[in-house]
Amino acid sequence: MPSSESVTEHEHHWEFSWAPLMTVAGIFFLIPLTFSAYFVYENMLLTVVFAGIGTPVLIAGVSKWVSEGLSDKPLLVGASAVGLPIFIVSEIFIFLSLFASYWIMRLQADTWPPEGTPEIGYGLPMVMTALLVSSSVTIHIAEHKHEEGDSAGFHRWLILTLILGTVFLGCTLWEYNHLVHMDFVPGTNAFSSAFFSITGFHASHVLVGLLAFVAVLIPALRGKTNNTFIKCTSIYWHFVDVVWFFVVSQIYFW
């Protein structure tokens, strides 16, 4: 008959965390609600309210999630090696659905882009591509520095990755602002709906990646790192980079 200690050791237990819910809620307030309030309804008050709610909620969710991963023993050791590919595959299908909608509209249209679309240059997308490619290089070097035990080098290259990603996101916001002032908004025509949906969805992934890097950097500056989280955030960032090549080739150059 098993001892009480053995039963206790193998007894199943639930683990609870509010981090995933907070992260999703923050993205919901910050991306679709704030985006719609500003670009669709042109209501600055709602924009400020939604952004004011979404930003701290998203930061809290991501920070808590990463903090748990750095400090708590995982329920299933090695689960991230399975979970991350499943997550990325699911994201690929979401992006594919957006691209499929765009391809259908594009191939069925008599003229493209539709009337009302301003001239969108190629210069800024090329700069943004260079920024993301460079950030993939810098996060790879940062990961290598961490494996070598070079903490200072890891911090420098991770911070550089954050800067490059932030500038990329700033370019997206600058372009949105420029297009809105030209009366090109999500409801202008079919192309504008696809343009803002696909680039905005990608920008939301860049934002989450930057927040994840921040959540990794803060403990790292205190000498606390986790190999699994560093590797997962690096893989995720490379995925965001690869997706951008599809975004820029289909939306800007086709």
185 lies in the same domain as 206? yes
Q: Which domain, by its residues, includes 27?
A: 17-73
Select from 130, 149, 127, 161 the least CA-distant residue to 234.
161
Q: Give me the numbers of helices (H) and strands (E) for the chain, helices first please.
A: 9, 0
125 lies in the same domain as 30? no
Q: Could you tell me if residue 7 is inside a domain?
A: no
Cβ count near 121 (within 10 Å):
10
What does the pLDDT profile of the chain (254 residues) look like in tens digits? 444 444 444 454 455 678 878 888 888 888 778 877 877 777 889 989 998 998 889 888 877 876 766 665 555 566 666 778 888 898 999 899 999 999 999 999 888 889 889 988 899 999 999 999 999 999 999 999 999 999 999 999 999 999 999 999 999 999 999 998 898 988 889 999 999 999 999 998 998 899 889 888 888 888 888 888 888 899 999 999 999 999 999 999 88
Cβ–Cβ < 8 Å for 162, 70: no
Count CA atoms closer than 13 A to 14's CA, side-chain side: 2
Q: Could you tell me if residue 118 is inside a domain?
A: yes
173 lies in the same domain as 114? yes
The structural domain count of the chain equals 2
96 lies in the same domain as 25? no
Select from 225, 204, 203 the least CA-distant residue to 23.
204
pTM for the predicted model, two decimal places: 0.80
